[in-house]
Amino acid sequence: MPAPTSRNGRPLPETLRIERDGDVVIVRLNRPEKRNAIDDATVRGLGAFFAEPPEGVRAVVLCGEGEHFCAGLDLSSLASHSAAEGVLHSRMWHRAFEDLQFGAAPVVAVLHGAVVGGGLELACAAHIRVAETSTFYALPEGQRGIFVGGGASVRVPRIIGAHRMADMMFTGRVYSAEEGQAVGLSTYLEPPGKGFERGMALARKIAANAPATNFALMHALPRIAELGQDAGLFMESLMAAIAQAEPEAKARMRDFVERGANKVRKS
């Protein structure tokens, strides 16, 4: 099989496996011997893929090979950084995960085993998270004398609250899959071995949506949620008008109305 590439032809690292299933693409972290710890090449590869996914892709499933989703940052990559280099390294992660969160296709992350440190940062950039009951969550940076650098301080508090994130870092607290589901770290909870099946089913359902609707949910909704009420409602009106003006939306609404009328006539 040829090495996977991004749309612009740049080769992706061997630590990523890319598979196509119709209009859904599966992106696998492929470093199981390291519990899928993320090195610089993997971050750059994720950024390259999500910045320019293949043509026609309408949803992505992100998962991990082996027994774990991702055990976080490969710490060996930080060992020799100066402060300035550390800032640039963190910003590289930020760019890659921004391209995932605000990219061209919604992302369903399928989680199992370790979702730790940078792995949790990666998962929280996805739009839907499906966790298997083997999943556990942690932010061990506080115990290692460092601070998060891949977006956790922005994304994690918006999901579970700043107080819970601080507790995870202050004390090393680990959340189980069930605890993570209760506080919102996952959207769905599945038995062992069933997460990928659920993730693919969700991705196919998402891929069947009108593109303008998916765009609004990815790009407009999170920004509307951060606005004041007046500005948020105005942006909602703009997005609603844009989405419903799309030809595909008009065709879907006509089909819905006609099917409803047929049901009334038959009854």
Predicted confidence at residue 247, as pLDDT, reads 84
Q: Which residues, listed in sequence order, are joined to residue 107 by a DSSP beta bridge?
A: 60
**pLDDT per residue rounded down to tens, the chain (267 residues):** 444 555 555 689 999 999 999 999 999 999 999 999 999 999 999 999 999 999 999 999 999 999 999 999 887 766 677 899 889 999 999 999 999 999 999 999 999 999 999 999 999 999 999 999 999 999 999 888 889 999 999 999 999 999 999 999 999 999 999 999 999 999 999 999 999 999 999 999 999 999 999 999 999 999 999 999 999 999 999 999 999 998 887 788 788 777 765 665 565
Spatial separation of the C-alpha atoms in residues 161 and 222, rounded to whole Å? 16
**In degrees rounded to 5, what are phi and psi of residue 228?**
-65, 165
Predicted confidence at residue 263, as pLDDT, reads 63
The catalytic residue among 55, 98, 121, 258 is 121
Cα angle: 177, vertex 17, 215; to 5 degrees: 70
Q: What are the start-end ranges of the H helices in the chain?
A: 40-51, 83-101, 118-125, 152-160, 162-171, 177-183, 195-207, 211-215, 221-224, 229-245, 247-266
Cβ atoms within 10 Å, residue 233:
12
Cα angle: 61, vertex 193, 203; to 5 degrees: 25
Predicted confidence at residue 37, as pLDDT, reads 95
Whole-prediction pTM value? Answer: 0.91
Predicted confidence at residue 126, as pLDDT, reads 98
The catalytic residue among 14, 141, 178, 179 is 141
Predicted confidence at residue 229, as pLDDT, reads 97
- In one-letter notation, the amino acid at residue 168 is M
Helix, strand, coil % in the chain, rounded to nearest 5: 50, 15, 30
Predicted confidence at residue 40, as pLDDT, reads 93
Q: Which residues, listed in sequence order, are joined to residue 115 by a DSSP beta bridge?
A: 70, 137
Predicted confidence at residue 261, as pLDDT, reads 55
Q: In 3D, which of 186, 123, 127, 121 has the Cα closest to residue 147? A: 121
HSE toward the beta carbon, residue 144, CA cutoff 13 A: 14
The alpha carbon of 234 is separated from its chain's Cα centroid by a whole number of angstroms, namely: 27
Domains of the chain with bracketed CATH: 16-207 (3.90.226.10), 211-266 (1.10.12.10)
Predicted confidence at residue 230, as pLDDT, reads 98
Is 141 a residue of the active site? yes
Predicted confidence at residue 252, as pLDDT, reads 82
Judged on CB neighbours under 10 Å (0-12, 13-18, 19+), 204 is middle
